[in-house]
Amino acid sequence: MKKHGILNSHISKVLSDMGHTDQLTIADCGLPITKNIEKIDLAIRIGEPDFISVLKAVINDMKVERIILAEEIKQHNPNLLEKIQSLFDSSIEIVFIDHEAFKSQTQITKAVIRTGEATPYANVILQSGVIF
């Protein structure tokens, strides 16, 4: 049994398979996920697990060089935006795109981790960095 890090075997495998610039989405329970993208569904009920808890666990195990957020989070969920930004240091590039473009971008990510989060625009795309 794994002693540290993410225990979910699906998330662990996706992270292990990622290379530089590959992307992974962490989403609220409402984000549409196309059939051709691996969906790792963690949602148990509304709010569980919450977005920030899942994001913290993933970034603890992943080298991130860039994050992508929907522009709309600034207006519709500024508290969550502040929490997200507090998790990353200034060397991490933060890119904002409109929500429709965000949904399109998720279609080329390695997987979408679906949380139980039910607040507006609680979605992020994490772009993998390189550890050397």
> Which residues participate in catalysis according to the annotation?
20
Of 130, 131, 128, 132, nearest to 58 by C-alpha is 128
Q: Confirm whether residue 122 is marked as ligand binding.
A: yes
* Tokens standing for residue 73: 């989070």
Q: Confirm whether residue 111 is marked as ligand binding.
A: no
Q: Confirm whether residue 101 is marked as ligand binding.
A: no
* Tokens standing for residue 17: 């398979």
Strands 64-70 and 93-97, by their bridges, are parallel
* Tokens standing for residue 67: 């994050």
- For residues 100 and 14, the answer to whether their CB atoms sit within 8 Å is no
Q: Which residues are annotated as a binding site for substrate?
A: 28, 99, 121-123
Q: Which residues are annotated as a binding site?
A: 28, 99, 121-123
